């Protein structure tokens, strides 16, 4: 396969997988004519399908399509043998209908099972172009060809892209709620505001009224002092008066004297 074509096929298959959820192994519905053609032109059908679809493939044949081959007698036995190696796709047509019609019904309007179709029927190929996202393969002069994406496929892809760009229904609800939210939020912030700088505002309000707050602060200080006592036992008294010590050198001296008295405490303090 030429480089240019290989690149085009890779791009096309990524479109099918990215936009329409195609996954390996790609399921390929093979029609009776394709079985006959690959036998007569000595094409390794499964291998070639893997090459053009650029991945692993699972060839399949419907009951109606293999029935068509049975009807053609012993001359087409090699094609029947080939078809028998494929997975049988139940189409639930009690009496066999023409292969083209069978495949059209199996693909349906949306190709929800994500089949690719390998067919030599011009008529079927044009019918499949109406359905979005049906990779169609045919053989032309012993060369397997993957058709370019149909207009229906490209339209569906574009529609899906536009859908993803636009906000979805739940997103719209969110947007609506957030657009009304901003007027609500600022008041909340104002309410929260006083809580933040509360220690400062409490000090100012002290003389006025707010009495419950100051006791709380005292409790906190006491708690801290308590912790210190736990840490270094006897020196707790000194620590309590610590804030003033830096300003008052006399007390500092006292403390040193005391520390010297209990040699052990001094080392702890230095450390």
- C-beta separation of 49 from 59 below 8 A: yes
Q: Identify which range of 93-101, 122-130, 211-219, 243-251 contacts Zn ion by CB under 5 A.
A: 93-101
Is residue 64 part of the contact set for Zn ion (CB under 5 A)? yes
Is residue 91 part of the contact set for Zn ion (CB under 5 A)? yes
Is residue 61 part of the contact set for Zn ion (CB under 5 A)? no
DSSP string, 22-89: --SSEEEEE-HHHHHHHHHTT--HHHHHHHHHTS-EEEEEEHHHHHHHHHT-GGGHHHHHHHHTSEEE
Is residue 93 part of the contact set for Zn ion (CB under 5 A)? yes
d(CA 116, CA 136): 6
Closest CA to 160 of 36, 23, 10, 21: 21
- Of 134 and 144, the one with the shorter C-beta distance to Zn ion is 134
Is residue 102 part of the contact set for Zn ion (CB under 5 A)? yes
- Of 93 and 252, the one with the shorter C-beta distance to Zn ion is 93
DSSP string, 182-222: HHHHHHHHHHHHHHTTHHHHHHHHTTTS--SHHHHHHHHHH
Minimum CB separation from Zn ion for residue 93, in Å? 4
Q: Which of 27, 62, 76, 153 binds Zn ion (CB under 5 A)?
A: 62
Q: Identify which range of 27-35, 87-95, 146-154, 181-189 contacts Zn ion by CB under 5 A.
A: 87-95
- Of 66 and 136, the one with the shorter C-beta distance to Zn ion is 66
- Of 17 and 63, the one with the shorter C-beta distance to Zn ion is 63
Phi then psi dihedrals of residue 57, to 5 deg: -130, 150
Minimum CB separation from Zn ion for residue 66, in Å? 10
Residues lying near Zn ion in the complex (CB under 5 A): 62, 64, 91, 93, 102
């Amino acid at each position: 396969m030429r480089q240019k074509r290989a690149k085009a096929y890779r791009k096309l298959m990524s479109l099918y997988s990215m936009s329409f959820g195609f996954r390996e192994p790609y399921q390929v519905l093979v029609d009776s004519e394709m079985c006959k053609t690959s036998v007569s032109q000595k094409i390794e059908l499964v291998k070639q399908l893997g090459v053009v679809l650029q991945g692993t493939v699972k060839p399949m044949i419907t009951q109606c399509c293999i029935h068509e081959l049975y009807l053609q007698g012993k001359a087409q036995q090699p094609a029947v043998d080939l078809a028998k190696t494929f997975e049988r796709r139940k189409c639930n047509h009690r009496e066999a209908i023409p292969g083209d019609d069978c495949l059209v019904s199996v693909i349906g309007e949306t190709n929800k099972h994500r089949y690719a179709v390998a067919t030599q029927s011009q008529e079927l190929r044009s019918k499949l172009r109406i359905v979005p996202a049906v990779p169609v393969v045919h053989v032309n002069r012993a060369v397997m060809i993957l058709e370019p994406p149909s207009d229906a496929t490209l339209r569906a892809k574009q529609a899906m892209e536009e859908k993803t760009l636009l906000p979805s229904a739940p997103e719209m609800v969110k947007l609506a709620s957030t657009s009304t939210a901003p007027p609500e939020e600022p008041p909340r912030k104002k309410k929260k505001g006083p809580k933040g700088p509360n220690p400062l505002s409490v000090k100012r309000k002290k003389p006025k009224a707010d009495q419950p707050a100051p006791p709380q602060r005292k409790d906190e200080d006491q708690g801290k002092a308590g912790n210190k006592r736990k840490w270094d036992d006897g020196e707790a008294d000194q620590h309590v008066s610590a804030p003033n010590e830096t300003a008052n050198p006399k007390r500092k001296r006292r403390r040193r004297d005391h520390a010297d008295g209990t040699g052990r405490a001094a080392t702890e303090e230095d450390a």
